[in-house]
Amino acid sequence: MALLFIEGDLTIRRVQEMKDVLLARLAQSQALEVDLAGVTDIDTAGVQLLLMARRAAQASGKDLRLSAYSPAVAALFGLLRIR
């Protein structure tokens, strides 16, 4: 399983950059774990990016796991009832 660490903001300002990174890493492996422990801020654009990556993985028969939620990620995921 490949591992991708995301650090810093995962907001609308970085979504396009991170989309390219996520999709490239997903294309390179059958399974990808995305470590979110270093995410300092996340907005709905960041959540949409992660959900899009999950759908892309499912569509291609790959495994995408989100792990190690930072406090910012855990708070927003809790508010939106996302796991």
CB 25 within 8 A of CB 32: yes
78 residue type, one letter: G
CA nearest to 36, candidates 3, 66, 1: 66
- Domain that residue 51 falls in: 2-80
Measured CA to CA, the distance from residue 29 to residue 63 in angstroms comes to 9
The token duo for 12 is 């609308």
**Total domains in the fold of the chain:** 1
Residue 41's pLDDT is 97
pTM score, two decimals? 0.93
Tokens of 23: 């999709």
Query: Distance (Å, rounded) from C-alpha 42 to C-alpha 75?
Result: 10
CATH number for 63? 3.30.750.24
The one-digit pLDDT tens for each residue of the chain (83 residues) are 999 999 999 999 999 999 999 999 999 999 999 999 999 999 999 999 999 999 999 999 999 999 999 999 999 999 999 87
